[in-house]
A and B are shown apart, each in its own frame.
Chain A
Amino acid sequence: SEYQSLLKNEETAPKYTAAEELYTEGKEEDDNGKLRKALRLLEQIEPEYRGKPQGERLVYILGDTYYQLGDYYNAPFNFERFVQLYPNSQKVEEAEYKTAVSYYNRSPRFNLDQTDTRKAIEELQVYLNKYPEGEFVDSANDYATELRVKLEKKAYEIAKQYHKTRYYKAAIASFNNFIADYPGSPFREAAYYYRYDSAYQLAINSFEVLMQERLENAREFYNSYNKYYPEGEFTQDSEASKMEIDKRLENF
């Protein structure tokens, strides 16, 4: 076919034209087939155009084709190369944004390794710092928030698991860290409550000699929950156990 002979063609110029066309059409029509065809051509001719005037557009297209195809490993690699090679290009902002978004897309579900999530937040922050008035500021902010919440959820769930498996001391230590590390998290109220509940469970299941101190400790955690969330989701539960604490403390 025409495309096959184009692939075998030694000349680069027709390939360039065809690739650009395929890329534009593919992007408009959301046709991955066309984009994949474009990609093969682009990969072939990219080395030839290094240092030439078309090189700038070509590296950008290459990165964007990967990006459109959902290859979030090759896309940031090429966008980063683009930014390095052509720092004065108009497309730099977009390339940096798409680099960050690629990392955003690489970020796995919260209960797996979050190395890519951290990298994505970092890249999004770099974008936001560099282009405070930029074109993609709103979505970059949304993405960054989403990823931060993901990290918060991870930390919260790990702490919650200690509570669930009845390692209450570990739960308290983890919730303490959580509360210190993530102000303004949507899991904050639950963290306050489960920290209190861990302390409560630890106290009532302990030896007589340790109980008083632990009950008092639990009461302090109750107070801080109650202070921040006087009408919270867990208020009813916490009040019930608080009464139990008070009752037991009377005996000491």
Chain B
Amino acid sequence: QDLPLGDSKKYTIGEIKVTGTTTYNEKTVLTYTGLKSGQELYIPGEKLRNVINKLWSLDLFSDINFYITNVEGNVADLELEIKEVPVLNQTTFTGLKKKSDRDELIDENSLKPGTKVTENLITTTRNYIQNKYKKEGYFNTDVYIQTKPVEDTTGANKVNMLVNVNKGDRVKIKSIDFNGNEQLSDAKLKRNMKNTKQKNIIRFWKRSKFVRADYQEDKTALINKYKEEGFRDARIVSDTLIKNDKETISLKLDIEEGNRYYVGNIDYLGNAAYTDEQLGKALGVEKGDIYNGVLIDERIQSREPNKTSIANIYQNNGYLFSNIDLVETNVYNDTIDFEVRILEGKEAFFDEIRVTGNNKTKDHVIYREMRTKPGQKYSQQAVVSTIRELGALGFFDAEQLNPEFVDPDPREGTLSLEYQVVESGASQIELQGGYGGGGFIGTLGLSFNNFSIQGLFDKDAYDPIPMGDGQTLSLRAQASTFYQTYSLSFREPWLGGEEPVSLSTSFSYTRQFLFDYVEREADKTRSFDILGVSIGLGKRLREPDQYATISNVVGFQRYDLNNYNTGLFTFGDGHSNNLYYQLGIVRDNTAFNPIFPTQGSKFDFSAKFTPPYSLWNGVDYGNLENDPEYQLRDDNGNLIDNNGNRVTSENSVADQEKVDQKKYNWLEFYKIKLAGSWYETLANFGPSSDLVLRTHAEFGFLGAYNSERGIPPFERYYLGGDGLGAFSLDGRETIQLRGYPNQSVVPIDRGVNDRDDGAVIYNKFSLELRFPITLKPAASIYALSFLEAGATYDNFRDYNPFQLNRSAGVGLRVFMPTFGLLGIDFGYGFDEIVGGQPGPNGWETHFIIGQQF
């Protein structure tokens, strides 16, 4: 369609030529215009104008002209002259010192060689740079952009771009003045402007700068502050920005505070499921309170899982479709009546629960951890904790766990849930080599956290290893010239799949050769082997309540000595076996945050037994020393004394090595341990700031069935210090007691030079005050101060629960999901320790890693 414009004439196109292009084929341009020789056309006319517009819109040309070159009759020859937009050759900056700044600008504005330099590009680049520096506080930034054609032999249409940036000085805010504020002080208002700060030499961590967007945000924060204080009508009447000089500006804000309002009558409308009292408790605002608009809004609408709000009450109890509004019904003098209008809607129930994205982890592993079940009432809380449980499995990327509501139907009151999961690598490989302890040490560790033992027998399951049943399998081997250790452990968290009954098994074997420090090599003829096997079942109990768990472990350890003196035994040749059964019962109802419990208690009872062999084996352990078989003899079998002189059977001496070998060939003991912690919130200073008192007591006792056989030098208690697990081949338990060096609190009536082989009784009491600094998921930090006291004893005759080593101190704990728990404590020990300096023990510093107390 072609319409004539003004006094135009109709022509037939004769020949069309395209001139001025360098990079495009003439024909291509012509085809694009849609003009053909022989076509009829008004000049000037609608069609021609459209062609020009179409060409312009390509953004490829900087000038477009049509010429009539020749007219014969009504046949016109046309020439299309176009000028191509130049192509960028190079960009140079002046006024920016850092190369990284320049590169960044080139990147952000895509000023790469070959880019078409249009007017638009120049303008957007200029604005971009100006805005960028304004955001950093350079309010007076000037940007000039010049283009210069490049002269080169190819005649290509290229330009260089010269960008001159003059940042000027960073603008600082000399003063912020408020007018009209009577109720809130200038200082208080300034504090609430988080990003717009007055110039101040002392405050070096936040520079004074003026960014318009931040300033707008701060103004909103200012008004919110007023709202929190009950000034519902507060507003900023006007604000003025004054440029003092090139470097500083001043801000003037005129504020109209209005009246302070108080809460009047609160009415609830539409609530059938909950009474006014129940909702009132959640709202936490009463008649006569200052009208804190921000708080009231939060208490009504907030959907954040940990907040108390009316919306959460409904959302956690099935009312997915509920809707809650606040309406102010009456304002008189300084009092506001309002109504909480509730549309409860139908209670919603879960219809189907689906999982997608599990390419490795099998359904049953995921479904058993879920708190949302089909047919169950909808609860926001249940969805949130399901996400937490699934994240805690470690099989999925916790950041990408996403619950999707499918087909929520307000009329039927149903919804389905789809959990979208993303599998993450749950296996770890550790391969290390290094030089240490006089030789090469190599470690190979494999741990599969989502293993499938069933898959071992299914050739299709190898991809590359069978996975997806949620089991843990770890293998580890470490070897050096004088030391080898191998271990294997397996854990199935849901044995049988009916209940969370966990099965754990482990096997370990260590072989150690005596290291000859003179020759600097291992003496292979002298060795010490430890073999350990254990199998355990753990179960969550239904009685007395769901907080209790019980665990049973049967284990066996064998120590084999071959001319090797360890310090564990009095003998260097021989063996010792430890077959035990251990029962553990834990009841833990601490809440809510496992890292920082604010209420509840935790009890831990454990009992470890070996069979009482001496009851039936008929050995008279008390009389071994008088048995010729266990007396000292020389190589020819003659009785001798300690100095090697021959003696008669009347004055013979016991061979202590042989006696001990007989006593400890099968270890015989029982061991009881009890611990309890109570958590109590003493005071609450707002959300996530509870002052918590932790009271803790524990007691342990190791005994022998047969006093003549005695208590073995194994499984003993070592009190003092940070309580972190030490070298524990002998089953020792290290107990924390801050303010004293590690394992230093030995029974008080021991001699200074006695061999320290641990104590058989201990008790410990502690009071700890905790206050959180932050409890954000990324890092939880709390400060603590403590009073502790504890002691160890050699037997019940010496037991005196009031004769304790006391200490006090302060500390800090930091918990980060990636690192676990880290902490530092400074403790002062008030009492003397055996073998230490006379007087109080004094200050000790303890570093705590990964201990959950």
Task: Name A's B-contacting residues (CB within 8 A).
Answer: 108-109, 111-113, 115, 154, 157-158, 161-162, 164-167, 169-170, 172-174, 177
Contact = CB atoms under 8 A, between A and B. Distances in A.
Contact of A111 (B357, B363, B498): B363
A174 B497 CA distance: 18
Contact of B367 (A113, A161, A172): A161
A108 to B, nearest CB: 7
Contacts of B355: 113
**Secondary structure type dominating chain A contacts:** helix
B352 A177 contact: yes
A212 B533 CA distance: 52
Nearest to B499: A165
Given A112-B468, A154-B363, A161-B364, A177 B374 contact: yes
A173 B358 contact: no
Contacts of A170: 373-376
Interface string B358-380: 11111110011000011110000
A169 B376 contact: yes
Contacts of A157: 363-364
Interface string B462-473: 000000100000
> Closest 5 CB pairs between A and B?
A173-B375, A170-B373, A173-B374, A111-B362, A111-B363
B359 A108 contact: yes
Given A113-B357, A158-B367, A173-B375, 13 more contacts: A111-B362, A113-B355, A113-B356, A157-B363, A157-B364, A161-B367, A161-B368, A161-B497, A169-B375, A169-B376, A170-B373, A177-B352, A177-B374
Nearest to B350: A173
A166 B367 CA distance: 13
Contacts of B362: 111-112
A172 B350 CA distance: 13
Which applies to chain B's interface (DSSP): helix, strand, loop or mixed? loop
Given A170-B374, A170-B375, A165 B360 contact: no
5 contacts: A157-B364, A162-B373, A164-B497, A165-B368, A174-B352
Contacts of B351: 173, 177
Contacts of B357: 113
Given A112-B360, A112-B363, A164 B373 contact: no
B419 to A, nearest CB: 11
Contacts of A113: 355-359
A112 B364 CA distance: 10
Nearest to B460: A109
Contacts of B360: 112
B617 to A, nearest CB: 47
Contacts of A162: 367, 373-374
Contacts of A172: 375
A172 to B, nearest CB: 7
Contacts of A108: 359
Contact of A166 (B356, B361, B375, B498): B498
A113 B418 CA distance: 12
Interface string B492-516: 0000011100000000000000000
Interface centre among A173, A174, A177 (most CB of B within 10 A): A173
A247 to B, nearest CB: 26
A111 B364 contact: yes
Contacts of A115: 356
B397 to A, nearest CB: 15
A167 B363 contact: no
A165 B376 contact: no
Contacts of A111: 362-364, 468
Contacts of B361: 112
A193 to B, nearest CB: 18
A173 B356 CA distance: 20
A157 B460 CA distance: 20
Contacts of B356: 113, 115
B498 A158 contact: no
A103 to B, nearest CB: 15
A162 B368 CA distance: 8
Interface in B334-367: 350-352, 355-364, 367
Contacts of A174: 352, 374-375
A162 B363 CA distance: 12
Contacts of B373: 162, 167, 169-170, 173
Contacts of A177: 351-352, 374
B382 to A, nearest CB: 12
A108 B363 CA distance: 12
Contacts of B367: 158, 161-162
A157 B362 CA distance: 11
A109 B573 CA distance: 57
B374 A112 contact: no
Contacts of B374: 162, 170, 173-174, 177
A3 B558 CA distance: 64
Contacts of B364: 111, 157, 161
A115 to B, nearest CB: 6
A174 B351 CA distance: 8
A174 B468 CA distance: 23
B578 to A, nearest CB: 37
Contacts of B468: 111-112
Considering residues A154, A158, A166, which has the most beta carbons from chain B within 10 angstroms of its beta carbon? A158
Contacts of B350: 173
A84 B18 CA distance: 38
B466 to A, nearest CB: 12
Contacts of B497: 161, 164-165
A158 B367 CA distance: 8
A175 B357 CA distance: 23
A111 B368 CA distance: 13
B217 to A, nearest CB: 42
A112 B358 contact: yes
Most A Cβ at <10 Å: residue of B356, B361, B374: B374
Contacts of B460: 109
B488 to A, nearest CB: 27
A73 to B, nearest CB: 13
A201 B651 CA distance: 77
Given A113-B355, A170-B376, A165 B363 contact: no
B351 to A, nearest CB: 7
User: Which of A113, A165, A166 has most B Cβ within 10 Å?
Assistant: A113
Nearest to B372: A170
A192 B461 CA distance: 32
- The residue among B367, B497, B498 with the most chain A CB atoms within 10 A of its own CB is B367
A166 to B, nearest CB: 7
Given A158-B367, A161-B368, A165-B498, A112 B359 contact: yes
Contacts of B376: 169-170
Nearest to B349: A173
Nearest to A172: B375
A6 B499 CA distance: 63
A13 to B, nearest CB: 28
Interface in B78-126: none
Which one of A154, A164, A166 has the highest number of Cβ atoms from chain B below 10 Å of its Cβ?
A164
A117 B636 CA distance: 83
Contacts of B352: 174, 177
Contacts of A164: 497-498
A161 B362 CA distance: 12
Interface in B439-473: 460, 468
Nearest to A167: B373
A168 B376 CA distance: 11
Interface in B205-256: none
Nearest to B458: A109
Contacts of A109: 460
A181 to B, nearest CB: 9
A179 B367 CA distance: 20
Nearest to A160: B364
Contacts of A173: 350-351, 373-375
